[in-house]
A and B are shown apart, each in its own frame.
Chain A
């Protein structure tokens, strides 16, 4: 017990061993913390990028679903890449003798979905200040009849059993986004995440009298 007491009392300086061990421990800790902080920052950046992508994907899906629920007719045409131009006809909310059309399409160059008169679904996407090596891509933006492009086998079989009136009004929205995080260092690893946003919508008005022009 005597030795530790002397050691603790003696506060007139450090021995060489103490100083060396302290420096080694602190160096290891600083190095470890730096590595962990950099890794954590990378993780946060990735997580944030995916959340931003989720937000945009869900925004597009929800707003398109909303328009389709109120649509009286839908026309789907081919467009660039794996995307479609979607013309949605809907009844004017004020004048019931007037139909309007809203066109949805993917702008692959600027990575955004536009509707109507080139209005943006969300002007904050993609983020304006992406880091080096970061980019977003629109991989797919399609509206297909029920189960036509479904990966689910049961749905594809079910499609053959459905009436035409149902098939004419049921649509699958598929919006696929990809986030690329390419390494800016030689030999670094690239990281990519791709997510599909999906909704099925039944265009009710296609089987109601509003489709026949009887609106009042």
Chain B
């Protein structure tokens, strides 16, 4: 300890080897930290892109059901009205990733909940409109903290054309 104190005091001759090595190590650690932060930011942007795409897919599916309810829907069809949240559905492409390989593709599952009729009693029209809930579920590619499935739910309403 004594010799170290003397070392810091007697520094008139400029930097020495140890100082250079320590300086380089600090630069190296800072560089690694900076690049890790930038890589993390890039991953977050990709996650946001997938989230937005999932929202777009959900909205498109709501649009489909709005069209169905408007012109092509049988309210007595219990099977259609029940939704398919508990059924297995074919995967839909969410993020293509590298177009030269399928290995990094991120797929999602698009499902809809029960189609619920809403009767605003005061209008006296019977069923005034229908509520549609669409859920899109996907798994983020291997990243710490993302072992649970990600999902978005999009909700829409529609009246039938008869109204």
Contacts and interface: CB of A to CB of B under 8 A. Distances in A.
B101 to A, nearest CB: 13
B45 interface: yes
Interface of A: 4-5, 8-9, 11-14, 18, 21-22, 25-26, 29, 33, 36, 40, 43, 47, 51, 54, 58, 61, 146, 152-154, 162-163, 165-166, 169-170, 192-195, 198-202, 204, 207-208
Contacts of B10: 9, 11
Contacts of A163: 71-72
Among A11, A29, A61, the most chain B Cβ lie within 10 Å of the Cβ of: A11
Contact of B56 (A25, A166, A199): A199
Contact of B27 (A29, A54, A162, A204): A29
B42 A43 contact: yes
A138 B72 CA distance: 35
A146 B72 CA distance: 13
Contacts, number: 99
Contact of B3 (A5, A153, A204): A5
B7 interface: yes
Secondary structure call for the B interface: helix
Contacts of B99: 192-194
B49 interface: yes
Interface of B: 3-4, 6-7, 10-14, 16-18, 20-21, 24, 27-28, 31, 35, 38, 42, 45, 49, 52, 56, 59-61, 63-64, 66-68, 70-72, 90, 92, 96, 99, 161
A202 B70 contact: yes
B71 A165 contact: yes
A9 B72 contact: no
B42 A166 contact: no
B17 A21 contact: yes
A51 B42 CA distance: 11
A26 B27 CA distance: 11
Contacts of B161: 165, 207-208
Contacts of A21: 17
11 contacts: A5-B3, A8-B18, A40-B35, A163-B71, A165-B161, A166-B72, A170-B64, A194-B96, A199-B59, A199-B60, A200-B60
B67 A170 contact: yes
